[in-house]
Amino acid sequence: MIGVFDSGSGGLTILEALHEAMPEQDFLYLGDHANAPYGHRSNEQIVDMTRQCVETLFGAGCDLVVLACNTAAAIALRTLQQDWLPKAYPNKRVLGVLVPMVEALTGVPWSQEHPNGGKPKDRSILLFATRKTVESGSYLDEVNKRAPHVALVQKACPGLVDAIEGGAGDAPMRGLIDGFVGEVLADVPAPDAAVLGCTHFPLVRDYFRRALPATTELLSQPEIVAKSLKDYLARHAEFQESGSGHIRLLTTGRPQDVTMADAYLPEKLRHFEDHTRA
């Protein structure tokens, strides 16, 4: 059973893609709705809350957990991998969404780093993300290490996660996203590509698609992450388990209050249980 963690319901976009790519796998999802969103939290809080939720998934029988939250992956993943897992859970693994996205944006494997300089920047990519992800500089730093020819332009989208979780209607959602996209297009009018660097944002992908130029490629984070995990499992057979394709959803909040998914996701991804039942 593979664990999938997100600060709320946004990670369901990743879970849906994982299930489609690996229908034989069992998945256990945990959304930390009681503490969402993570964007305004301190780094210390994000690390602590992420660790607690990962530990819950470990305790429920998951040996491998995917951080489907860009903020958690950008802020907490390295600390968990380097300082916590080797001591507490040496035989378990935590992966994030940042690594496969950086590889997709740069075309360079994660293990390869190149110094800045050399080839001039001839490709522009927009990154729409939460304020915390942008402030962490994780995407920008890692892209610069590997692909000096890529100009990554980051745009924080404050309030968008709240709007999605709250089920905002068409007009306010369109206005919010048109505003974010319009601001960045004023500086980069013809970007080559754009990526939605928050797992909530693919839920409103169509709004971004309409707001962006038709020539701008809109990269799919869920599909990229799903392919990356499938490749990882092919290389690490110890984390592959035969299952029945079962999906179970847990929340740290009140299940009856987790209603956002009703508007955007299929029936199988709508029914949450209390996380204490893990």
Q: Contact at 8 Å (CB) between 43 and 12?
A: no
157 labelled catalytic: no
Do the annotations mark residue 199 as ligand-binding?
Answer: yes
Query: Residue 159, by phi and psi: left (phi above 0), alpha (psi -120 to 50) or beta?
Result: left
Residue type, 79: T
CA–CA separation, 274 vs 245, rounded Å?
21
Do the annotations mark residue 200 as ligand-binding?
Answer: yes
Cα distances from 125 to residues 133, 150, 219, 242, in angstroms, run 16, 7, 10, 39
Give me the catalytic one of 53, 62, 157, 198. 198
Q: In what order do the strands lie in the sheet with 2-6?
A: 93-96, 64-67, 2-6, 27-31, 247-251, 272-274
Do the annotations mark residue 197 as ligand-binding?
Answer: no
Q: Contact at 8 Å (CB) between 178 and 160?
A: no
53 labelled catalytic: no
With residue 124 as reference, give the H or E element that holds it: strand 123-129
Do the annotations mark residue 38 as ligand-binding?
Answer: yes
Give me the catalytic one of 53, 62, 69, 157. 69
The encoded tokens of residue 179 equal: 């505003």
The DSSP 8-state label assigned to residue 116 in this structure reads: S
Do the annotations mark residue 7 as ligand-binding?
Answer: yes
Q: For residue 86, give every residue at least 6 positions away whose Cβ sits within 8 Å of its Cβ, in sequence order, or none.
A: none
Binding-site residue positions: 6-7, 38-39, 70-71, 199-200
Residues with active-site annotation: 69, 198
Binding-site residue positions for substrate: 6-7, 38-39, 70-71, 199-200
